[in-house]
Structure 1
Amino acid sequence: MASRLGTQLGEWRATTAVAQSLADRIRMLLLDGRMTVGERLPSERALAAELGRSRATIARAYELLESGGYVVRTHGSGTRASLPAQRLQRPAAADHDVIDLTIASIGSAPGLHAATVRALDRLAGLLGTPGYSIDGLPELRARIADRYTARGLPTDPDQIVVTSGAMHALSIVLAAFGERGRSAVVEQPSFPHAIDALRRTGHRLLPTPVTPDAGPDGSGGWDANHLVETLRSQRPALAYLVADFHNPTGATMPELERARLAAVARATGTLLIVDETCAELDIDRGWTPRPFAAHGPAILLGSMSKIAWGGLRIGWIRAGREQVAALLGARPSIDLGTPLLEQCIAMELFDEIDALLTSTRDRLRAGRAAVAAGLAEHLPGVAMPPMPGGLAAWVDLGGPWSTALSLAARDRGLLLPPGPRFSASGVLDRFARIPITWEPALTTEAMVRLGSAWRALHAGERSSREHLDRSAVV
C-alpha cells in the first residue's frame, strides 16, 4: 500500500544526485503545505521498497533533511517532518526584492480609493444599528442577485449570502453540507486552498482531470466521461468545480457538459459547489456561458477579490432558499457576518461594474502579453498555452521539472509554486502556474529570473538554499 509521502512524491524523478533530489522534493512538499509539520514519514526500508531505491539512498536523503532541520529523527518514534528552529528566511536576489508568483491577484482597481471614500457616507447611516450582518446587507445582496440575473440566471436577494471572500464562502458551505468520511470530487489541477479545505473537513478526494487541451476560445479541457462516470460509480457527497476560466488552466466548461453534469449530479445526490471567482475575468474569449446553476442545482461561490483587489474581502454564496437557511444556521459557528464597511465599498463598486471589468480586462491582457514574451525569450521550447481569460498561464514544461525549477527560482528571488501544489495526489510536476496578474514590468523581471533558473536546471545545477519559507498560493 502506498504511503502518503509516496503518493505526494507522485511523478518524482531524480534530476541530480538521487538522495539530494529526493531530499529537495520532500522539503518542497513540506514548504508548500502538502505535508504537515509533525507528520510521520515512512521508515527507510519502507520508502526504499516503495520507490524502488536502495535503503542507503533513503537514509542519505533523510540525513540531508535532518541536517537542514526539515525532519526530526527519534529512536523508537521514527522520522517526522519539521521546520528549522531559526526563523525561516525568504530567498533574496542580489540586487532586487523577492517577486512572489504564488499570488495570482491584480492590484487595487483604479477607482477603489474613491469608492472607499464614498462608502463612508453609506456606513454613517448604519452606525445606529447593532452592526451584525449574518446574511449581508440587503442592498448588496440585491446588487449581487441582479448581476446573476443579467448573466442569465434569475436570482432573488434572499438566495445570496455575503461572505468575507470565496474561501470563507467555501468554509461556510462545508460547515453546512460537508460530510466527514464521504468522498468529494475535485478537478486535477485545482485551487490548492480548496483542496486543503476539503481535506481538513475529512473528505476523501476523487480527482478528475482538466487538461490544457482546450480550444483557442478556452472551451473544453474536462474529461466529461471520466467526471460523469466518477459521479455514477462513486456517488460522492459533493464536487468542487471551477467551470469558468478554471484555476489554473484557464479553461471554460462548455454549456452542454454543464447540463449533462448537472443532470447526473441530481441523479446521484451529489452537491455541486461551483467556484465562480474567475467567471468574469474575460480577455477575448468571444462567448459567455450562463452561470452553472442555470443548468441545474448548484451552489455558486463568487468574489470581488480578483476584479477589484485581494485586500477587499467580499465574497458571496448563491444557493437555493432551503440551502441558504442551512448556511445561515451553520455560519454563527464560524463568524457573525461580513464587515459593513467592506460591504459598503462593494456596493459602490457594483455601481461601476462595467468600467471595473474593462480595467481588469486591460490589465490581464497586458500581463498575458508579458508572460508570453518572457517565455519566448527566456524559456525557449516552452509554449504559451491559449488563454482567453483567467488568472494565470498553466505552462507545460515538457518534463517533470516543476519542483526542481521552483527550488532553483527561489535562489534567484522568485517564488513560483510547483505544479504538484495544484494536485490532490502529488502529480503534475511537468506544469507550472505563471500569473498574468502582475504589472508588465515586474512580470518581465520575473521571467528573467525564471529563465536563469531554467538554464541552471538544465545545466545540472541544483538549489543550494537550505532555509526557505512556506509559500501560500492565491
Structure 2
Amino acid sequence: MTSRLVEHLGPQNVAGATAVELADRIRALILDGRLTVGERLPSERALALELHRSRSTTTRVYDLLDQDGYVSRVHGGSTRVALPHASSASIEADDESMIDLSIASMDSTPGLYDATVRSLPRLAALRGTSGYSLRGLPELREAVARRFRERGAPTDADQIVITSGALNALNLVLATLGRRGERALVEQPTFPHAREALHHHGYRMLPTPVDIEGWDERHVTDTLLRDRPHVAYLIPDFHNPTGATLPDSSRARIATTARNVGTHVIVDETTSELDIDRGWSPRPFAAFSPEVITVGSMSKIAWGGLRIGWIRADRALVARLLAARPTFELGTALLEQCIAIELLQDMPALTTHVASRLRLGRDAVAAGLGGIDGVEMPPTPGGLSTWLDLGAPISTAVSLAARDRGLVLPPGPRFATGGVLERRVRIPITLPPERTAQAMERLRLAWDDVHAGDTPRTEEIPHAAVI
C-alpha cells in the first residue's frame, strides 16, 4: 500500500529529484498542512522502495529534514513530522509580517455593524427560550429558502437546516450519510478542507478534472456510471480554485446521471454569489433534481467571522440530519442567526459590495502580475481567486521561495491528490488592493529567486510553526 507521504509527493513528480529537492517537497507538504505534526512517516527502507530510490538517498532526505527540525527521529524507531522550535514572541512577530494567501476571504460587509444592532431586539425576544436551535430559526430558514426560490429552485423552509458554516454543514451531511470505505467523486482540484472531510469520513477519492475552461462532463458522467460512487462533491459556481462555472445543461445531465446510479450529489454553493461580471446566472444545481444536497454559508458574502451556514435537502434527509446532529452539537448560535436574518433582507446590497471588492482585488492582482514574466492570469469573472498558470511545474519551488520572502502561498498540489498541478497556483482576489500589491511584489521576488536558481533556505523559520 502506498504511504500518505508518497501519495502527496506523487512518485511521477519526484522521479530523478535529488535528496535536497525531495526534502524541500516534503517540507512544503508539512508547511501547508498536508502532513500533520506527529504523523508517522515511512521508514528509510520503505520510502526507498516506494520511490524506487537508493536507501542512501532517503537517509539523506530524512537527515536534511531532521537538521531543519521538520522531523523527529528515534534511533531504531519511527520518523515523525515535526516543526522547528521557536519562541512565542518570534512567532507573533513573524505572523504580523507575513502576508497569508492561504485564506481567500474578505473583511466584513459595511452593513454588518448596523445589522448587528438591528438584530438585538430579535435576540432579546428569544431570551425566554432554551437558546438551543437544532433546525435553525424559522425566519432565517425562510430567508434562505426564499433566496433559492429567487434563483430558480423551489424550496420550503422545512428543507433548510441552519449550521455553523458550510464546512460544518458538509461534515453533518457526511456523518449522516455515513458509508466508510465507499467512493466519492471529487473535482481535481478542489477545496482542500472538503477533500480532507471526505477522507476523515472514510471515503476513497475518485478525482475528475476541472480547469479554467470547466469540467470534462463526459468524464464526470462516465465515472458516475462506471464506479457508482456513494457521494459526489461539486463546486459548480465560481469553482474553488479554478473560477469555472458549470452550465445549466451540464448540471441537468450530471444530476440525472447521479440520480439514476444512486449517487448523493453534494453541491457547495459557498461561492455562488461572488459574481463580478460573468454575464449570466445559472440555476441552482438543486433545480435539476430534488435529491441534490446543497451546502452554503454567509462567510464569503458577509464575513468569515459570521459562522452561519445551511443545508438544503429533501425532507426525508432533513429528518435524518436532525437525528444525527445532536451527536456533535445542539444547534447554531442565536445571535449570528439574528444578524443573518437582517443581512439577508438586503441581498442586493451584499452582492453589490462583494462585486465591487472582488473587482478591485482582481485588478490589483492583474497589475501586480504585470511585473512577472511568464505567469498567465486567466479571465476571472468572479469567485475568490484566480488560478495562475506558471508555465512550468514549479509551484512548490515558488511556494517555498515565497515563504522566505514573507508570503504564505499554497502550491497547486495543495488543491489536488497525488502531487499534481505543479504548474498552477491560487492567488486570492479578496485582499485590499494595497495589501495585494505588497503580496505581488513578494511573489515577484520569489519568482526571481526560483529562476535565478537562488531559493534561500532560512536558517531559522519561526513562522513555520503557525502554518
Alignment correspondent of 2:464: 469
Whether contact under 8 Å (1:69, 1:85) holds in the other structure is yes
How far is the alpha carbon of 1:2 from its aligned partner? 3.7
Whether contact under 8 Å (1:92, 1:412) holds in the other structure is no
Q: For 1:323-362, list aligned pairs within 5 A.
A: 323-362=317-356
Q: For 1:6-25, list aligned pairs within 5 A.
A: 6-10=6-10, 12-13=13-14, 18-25=18-25
* One-letter code aligned to 2:109: A
After superposition, the C-alpha distances for 1:104-127 in whole angstroms (9 at most, x for unaligned) are: 001100111111111111111111
Alignment correspondent of 1:266: 259
**Alignment of 1:222 onto 2:215:** yes
- Any stretches of 5+ residues in structure 1 without a counterpart? 215-220
Alignment correspondent of 1:434: 427
Q: For 1:313-332, list aligned pairs within 5 A.
A: 313-332=307-326
* One-letter code aligned to 1:300: T
Whether contact under 8 Å (1:235, 1:270) holds in the other structure is yes
Alpha-carbon distance in 2 for matches of 1:223, 1:195:
19
Whether contact under 8 Å (2:141, 2:157) holds in the other structure is yes
How far is the alpha carbon of 1:170 from its aligned partner? 0.5
* One-letter code aligned to 2:306: L
Alpha-carbon distance in 2 for matches of 1:323, 1:370:
44
21-30 or 338-347: which moved more? 21-30
After superposition, the C-alpha distances for 1:362-382 in whole angstroms (9 at most, x for unaligned) are: 1001100111111122x2121
Greater fraction helix? 2
How far is the alpha carbon of 1:93 from its aligned partner? 7.5
Alignment correspondent of 1:310: 304
Alpha-carbon distance in 2 for matches of 1:161, 1:241:
20
How far is the alpha carbon of 1:18 from its aligned partner? 2.0
SS in 2 for 1:47: helix
Alpha-carbon distance in 1 for matches of 2:424, 2:404:
20
Whether contact under 8 Å (1:102, 1:471) holds in the other structure is no
SS in 1 for 2:184: strand
After superposition, the C-alpha distances for 1:269-312 in whole angstroms (9 at most, x for unaligned) are: 11000000000101111110100011112100111100111111
Which of 399, 402, 410 is the aligned partner of 2:395?
402
Alignment correspondent of 1:218: none
Alpha-carbon distance in 2 for matches of 1:237, 1:408:
40
Whether contact under 8 Å (2:166, 2:270) holds in the other structure is yes
Q: 1:146 to 1:83 in 2, by over 3 A?
A: same
Whether contact under 8 Å (1:37, 1:82) holds in the other structure is yes
Alignment correspondent of 1:191: 191
After superposition, the C-alpha distances for 1:151-177 in whole angstroms (9 at most, x for unaligned) are: 000100000000111001011101111
**Alignment of 1:151 onto 2:159:** no
* One-letter code aligned to 1:67: Q
335-344 or 46-55: which moved more? 46-55
Alpha-carbon distance in 1 for matches of 2:284, 2:464:
38
SS in 1 for 2:7: helix
Which of 220, 228, 237 is the aligned partner of 1:244?
237
**Alignment of 1:412 onto 2:405:** yes
Whether contact under 8 Å (1:93, 1:411) holds in the other structure is no
* One-letter code aligned to 2:283: R
* One-letter code aligned to 1:225: R
Higher relative contact order by CA 8 Å / sep ≥ 6: 1 or 2?
Answer: 1
Alpha-carbon distance in 1 for matches of 2:87, 2:180:
35
Whether contact under 8 Å (1:13, 1:400) holds in the other structure is no
Alignment correspondent of 1:34: 34
Whether contact under 8 Å (2:84, 2:465) holds in the other structure is no
SS in 1 for 2:206: strand
* One-letter code aligned to 2:240: N
Q: For 1:447-462, list aligned pairs within 5 A.
A: 447-462=440-455
Whether contact under 8 Å (1:240, 1:272) holds in the other structure is yes
Whether contact under 8 Å (1:91, 1:410) holds in the other structure is no
Whether contact under 8 Å (1:32, 1:471) holds in the other structure is no
Whether contact under 8 Å (1:190, 1:248) holds in the other structure is yes
Alignment correspondent of 1:217: none
Whether contact under 8 Å (1:92, 1:413) holds in the other structure is no
- Any stretches of 5+ residues in structure 2 without a counterpart? none
Q: For 1:48-197, list aligned pairs within 5 A.
A: 48-86=48-86, 90=91, 97-197=97-197
Alpha-carbon distance in 2 for matches of 1:403, 1:3:
20
How far is the alpha carbon of 1:185 from its aligned partner? 1.0
* One-letter code aligned to 2:353: S
Alpha-carbon distance in 2 for matches of 1:192, 1:341:
29
Q: TM-score, normalised by structure 1?
A: 0.93
Alpha-carbon distance in 1 for matches of 2:127, 2:198:
37
Q: 1:470 to 1:207 in 2, by over 3 A?
A: farther
How far is the alpha carbon of 1:31 from its aligned partner? 2.2
Whether contact under 8 Å (2:294, 2:312) holds in the other structure is yes
Alpha-carbon distance in 2 for matches of 1:332, 1:59:
48
* One-letter code aligned to 1:265: A
Alpha-carbon distance in 2 for matches of 1:413, 1:421:
19
Whether contact under 8 Å (1:91, 1:414) holds in the other structure is no
Whether contact under 8 Å (1:401, 1:429) holds in the other structure is yes
SS in 1 for 2:211: coil
Q: TM-score, normalised by structure 2?
A: 0.95
Whether contact under 8 Å (1:66, 1:73) holds in the other structure is yes
How far is the alpha carbon of 1:72 from its aligned partner? 2.2
After superposition, the C-alpha distances for 1:400-452 in whole angstroms (9 at most, x for unaligned) are: 21111111111111111111111133211211100000111110110000000
Instruction: Indicate the percent of aligned positions where both proteins have the same amino acid.
Output: 61
**Alignment of 1:388 onto 2:381:** yes
How far is the alpha carbon of 1:14 from its aligned partner? 8.5
